[in-house]
Structure 1
Amino acid sequence: MLFGKNKNKFYFNPGNRDTGVDENYVQEEVSKIDEDDVEVVLKNEENIDKKFSGSNGLSKYMELGRIMMSMLKDVKKGEYKNIPWFTIATIVLALLYVLNPMDIIPDFIPGIGYIDDIAVLSIGVGWIESDLHRYLDWRLEHEKGI
């Protein structure tokens, strides 16, 4: 198993915020994510990056996508460990949604086509924010050779 034994553990902690999201629904959707979905995201890194690269206003989301993609790669290589499956699945779900051109608001609609992509990415980041911060801290330490 590529991502270790954490797959069956469910970690959902949106903090003190009321997200209005049914946790049972989220758990059900997360349980549908498998390693093939992770591979689809990793193989489409360039397409996901291109989606947000067209606008300066989306650069923040492009950087978040790159961080999430980097986390997936480091987990796959076995360099970054002890990450809950929920975090991996959340990243995969968010990036698969971004990759899909025909979502709730089709991307070809000028001006508003990316609103739903940004919303899904933002909600996902909100759910896994502490894991992203731990990853970034780890990456800084890893790059320094500490």
Structure 2
Amino acid sequence: MLFGKKKEKVHFNPGNRDDGVDENFVEETVNKIDEDDVEVVLKNEENIDKKFSGNNSLSKYMELGRIMVSMLKDVKNGRYKNIPWFTIATVVMALLYVLNPMDIVPDFIPGVGYIDDVAVLTMGVGWIESDLHRYLDWRLENDLGI
């Protein structure tokens, strides 16, 4: 059991979004995420941070990555419990993609290497935006800051 939570099977429902995403692919991928994947993300927090830190135009995404990792840590430590499995799995899936240097557009290609990373992170954040806002509100209410 992940962080004391039962992993429920996810049925992807992005609402009325028409972003061209194959819903079956998302469901299959998210349902494959397990506790080991979460640990990989948490152990690579510094690498995720470094990925976007060299470019000022990507600083927004660096901050999103920090918030997502912080949320995973708070869930793991039992401090934050108001989170569905889909959100945990989406965060992990997006951050694992960011960590992968040989993705659709390899990161070493100057100027365009991070386009796919930013796209995947943005899409993931779009799916879980309300959960991220709830988490940030919880952080503020508990005076934990980010």
Query: What TM bracket, shorter-length normalisation?
Result: over 0.9
Q: Which has the higher contact order (CA 8 A, sep 6+)?
A: 1
1:10 Cα deviation after fit: 2.0
Q: Is the 2:2–2:34 contact (alpha carbons within 8 Å) kept by the matching residues of 1? A: no
Q: Distance between the aligned counterparts of 2:15 and 2:70, measured in 1?
A: 24
* Structure 1: tracts of 5 or more residues without a match: none
Q: Distance between the aligned counterparts of 2:39 and 2:10, measured in 1?
A: 21
| SS state at 2:14 partner | coil
Q: Distance between the aligned counterparts of 1:46 and 1:119, measured in 2?
A: 21
Higher helix share: 1
TM-score by length of 1: 0.93
| SS state at 1:7 partner | coil
Q: Is the 2:3–2:77 contact (alpha carbons within 8 Å) kept by the matching residues of 1? A: no
Spell out the pairing of 1:1-146 with structure 2 (5 A cutoff): 1-10=1-10, 12-143=12-143
Q: Is the 1:6–1:84 contact (alpha carbons within 8 Å) kept by the matching residues of 2? A: no
* Structure 2: tracts of 5 or more residues without a match: none
1:3 Cα deviation after fit: 2.9
TM-score by length of 2: 0.93
Q: Is the 1:9–1:84 contact (alpha carbons within 8 Å) kept by the matching residues of 2? A: no
Residue by residue over 1:24-68, the C-alpha shift from the partner in whole angstroms, topping out at 9 and shown as x without a partner, is 221111111000000000000001100100010000000000000
Q: Distance between the aligned counterparts of 1:137 and 1:96, measured in 2?
A: 25
Q: Is the 1:10–1:84 contact (alpha carbons within 8 Å) kept by the matching residues of 2? A: no
1:5 Cα deviation after fit: 3.6
Q: Distance between the aligned counterparts of 1:93 and 1:32, measured in 2?
A: 9
Give the aligned CA root-mean-square deviation in angstroms. Answer: 1.4
- State how many pairs are aligned: 144
Q: Distance between the aligned counterparts of 1:11 and 1:87, measured in 2?
A: 12
| SS state at 1:4 partner | coil
Q: Distance between the aligned counterparts of 2:84 and 2:6, measured in 1?
A: 6
1:17 Cα deviation after fit: 2.0
1:15 Cα deviation after fit: 3.5
Q: Bigger CA drift: 41-50 or 7-16?
A: 7-16
